[in-house]
Amino acid sequence: MGSVLKLRPVISCNAEGVYETVAKARGNAQALEKTIAMAVNAAGQQESFAIGVTHGSAETKATAVMEELKRKLPDCRQFISTDVSPALSVHTGPGLIGISVQALQK
């Protein structure tokens, strides 16, 4: 049913390190929009932070996401971009985009 409706989960890692679905979206574009909004919100709760963008065979999309985050979060101390590990790619397939917000000491 989820495939027919093109439902895409937005997954986060909680404080205990457990992955959980935090939102659902219809289609990749909406899922990415929600993910970016959540990252911007999380970063806004920190005095100092770094942003990481990772991808699974989606470098062009990851670059676009990074540019959008740079516009929305000009106070970010550091931006990091990398590809995802093969172990995670096995579970997600190509096209994965991940965003992390790291709180930093001032």
Tracing tokens 């679905």 back to the chain, one arrives at 21
User: Does the residue 48 lie in any domain?
Assistant: yes
- Contact at 8 Å (CB) between 50 and 102? yes
Mean pLDDT of 68-97: 91
User: Does the residue 65 lie in any domain?
Assistant: yes
- The model's pLDDT over 27-82, given as tens digits with 9 standing for 90+, comes to 999 999 999 999 999 999 999 999 999 999 999 999 999 999 999 999 999 999 99
When divided into structural domains, the chain yields a total of: 1
User: Does the residue 2 lie in any domain?
Assistant: no
**Where does the pLDDT of residue 2 fall: very low under 50, low under 70, confident under 90, or very high at 90 and above?**
low
User: Does the residue 35 lie in any domain?
Assistant: yes
- Domain span at residue 14? 7-103
Answering whether pTM is above 0.85, one says: yes
User: Does the residue 1 lie in any domain?
Assistant: no
CATH of the domain at 18: 3.30.1180.10
User: Does the residue 63 lie in any domain?
Assistant: yes
**C-alpha separations of 19 from 13, 16, 66, 92 in Å:** 4, 9, 23, 13
User: Does the residue 17 lie in any domain?
Assistant: yes
The least confident of 4-13, 19-28, 31-40 is 4-13
